[in-house]
Amino acid sequence: MTTPPFFIDFFSYWIFGWFLCFQIGATKYNPFSWLCIALFVGIIASFCMFFFQNDWLNISLFCLEYFIFKVCPIFLLWGSVIRWNDFQAGLLLFVCIYIPYLAWNRKLIYPTNPYYKSLYLISKNQPATPFVQFMRFHVQCLLRRRNYIFA
pLDDT digits (tens, 9 = 90+) for 66-122: 999 999 999 999 999 999 999 999 999 988 988 888 888 777 776 667 777 777 778
At 78, is the secondary structure helix, strand, or coil? coil
CA–CA gap between residue 32 and residue 76 (Å, rounded): 9
Domain count, the chain: 1
DSSP string, 75-127: HHTTTS---HHHHHHHHHIIIIIIHHHHHHTT-SSGGG-HHHHHHHHHHTTS-
Residue 1 lies in a domain: no
Q: What is the pTM of this model?
A: 0.81
Q: pLDDT tens digits for 132-149? A: 888 888 888 887 776 555
Domain span at 26: 7-150
Task: Name the nearest CA neighbour of 121 among 51, 24, 54.
Answer: 54
CB 14 within 8 A of CB 93: yes
Please check whether residue 34 lies inside any domain of the structure.
Answer: yes
Q: Is residue 57 part of a domain?
A: yes
